[in-house]
Amino acid sequence: MSKAKNIGGLVLLVVAAFVLMNSIYTVSEVQQMIITQFGKPVGEPITTAGLKVKVPFIQELNPIDKRVLEWDGNPSDMPTKDKLYISVDLFARWRIVDPLQYFLRLRDERSAKSRLDDILGSETRNAVAKHELIEIIRTTKDREPLRDSLLAGSQQDVKWGALVPIQKGRKLVEDEIFNAAAEKVEVFGIELLDIRFKRINYNQSVRPKIYDRMISERRQIAERFLSEGKGEAARIRGNRVRDLNKIQSEAYREVEEIRGLADAKATEIYARAYNQSPEAVDFYEFTRTMQSYQTIIANDTTLVLSTDSDLFKFLKGMDAGEE
């Protein structure tokens, strides 16, 4: 009899231990707990860490994460206000602040991320469609664009260097998406903490056309530079020829002036030297005439002169024996 009592006591002890194990549970610092009974929540959510007690067997534990969670959306193609299709990659951070509402509406994290996909994707599409691409690309409206110094002051500077004036910038566009989405996810017991653009790129289908257009624009700039360079080279060559002709003409004029002054000076010296007496004048006339003979008379030269010619005057005075 005592043996049966011992076995019965042992069974009761095991049952009590099993009941106790199903009645006591722990909540960690990174969790909050929803207790359900027959599938329905009972009581208030448990948000403090520690050792807790529940009704065994009929109540179930539903842990819910208390930490900041991440949402990383897939790249999605959408049009901007200026009809450019871009691929937008977004990420966000969120956490569960109302676990009971979250549990009733979503149940688990997979459902929550699915709802975030819908809401954040929709609000991003709406925000992108209301703004031009430059508003989404530029960080703030006060940021100055980089300009090519070679384009400064040219028509191409207006076309490629100046950017379209913007009103907001990427940060304010992100704030628009955040404010609109935060209000919609609040009903699910979710607090949206942050949202950012991770990557913005042209749509894959239009990217080759964009690259071709960029190449064409750069070629136009290169051709303009080549044309301007050729024009500048022609102008420099023309100025060089003009300056060279000017220098040569001025040098020729200066040479002629120096030569004229030298001839005049020589003539003056000759005049003073040969005008000292009538004999000197005659001698000068004779020597100059003899010099002219050497210049104008060669071996096969034939001269036809009149008898009163100045050249014939000295020839006429020569006799045959002297000749």
Q: What is the CATH number of the domain that holds 106?
A: 3.30.479.30
Q: Is the dihedral of CA 50, 51, 52, 58 positive or negative?
A: positive
pLDDT digits over 53-107, tens only?
888 878 888 898 999 999 998 888 888 888 888 889 999 999 999 999 999 998 8
Distance between CA atoms of residues 156 and 154, nearest Å? 5
Domain span including residue 172:
69-146+160-204
3-class DSSP state of 21: helix
Q: Residue 1: what pLDDT? A: 58
Distance between CA atoms of residues 114 and 164, nearest Å? 37
Distance between CA atoms of residues 163 and 168, nearest Å? 14
Distance between CA atoms of residues 219 and 225, nearest Å? 10
User: Which residue has 């703030």 as its token pair?
Assistant: 140
Residues 6+ apart with CB under 8 A from 23: 53, 54, 55, 56
Q: Are residues 196 and 280 in the same domain?
A: no
Assess contact for 120 and 177: CB atoms under 8 A: yes
Q: Are residues 36 and 75 in the same domain?
A: no
pTM over 0.75: no
- Which residue from 213, 212, 216, 234 is spatially nearest to 224, judged by alpha carbons? 216
Q: Work out the pLDDT band at 145, boundaries 50, 70, 90.
A: low
Q: Are residues 100 and 197 in the same domain?
A: yes
State the amino acid at position 136 in one-letter form. I
Strand (E) or helix (H) holding 41: strand 40-41
Residues 293-297 have a mean pLDDT of 75
**Is 160 a residue whose pLDDT tops 50?**
no
Q: Residue 124 domain-assigned?
A: yes
Q: Are residues 38 and 97 in the same domain?
A: no
Q: Residue 43 domain-assigned?
A: yes
Q: Residue 129 domain-assigned?
A: yes
Q: Residue 234 domain-assigned?
A: no
Q: Are residues 90 and 194 in the same domain?
A: yes
Q: Residue 191 domain-assigned?
A: yes
Q: Are residues 76 and 176 in the same domain?
A: yes
- Token pair recorded at residue 214: 């960029």
Q: Are residues 165 and 83 in the same domain?
A: yes
Q: Are residues 61 and 73 in the same domain?
A: no
pLDDT digits over 248-287, tens only?
999 999 999 999 999 888 888 877 777 777 777 777 777 7
Buried b (16+ CB within 10 A) or exposed e, 217-245: eeeebeeeeeeeeeeeeeeeeeeeeeeee
Q: Residue 50 domain-assigned?
A: yes
Number of domains in the chain: 3
Q: Are residues 180 and 121 in the same domain?
A: yes
Q: Are residues 73 and 200 in the same domain?
A: yes
Q: Are residues 17 and 134 in the same domain?
A: no
Q: Residue 213 domain-assigned?
A: no
Q: Residue 248 domain-assigned?
A: no
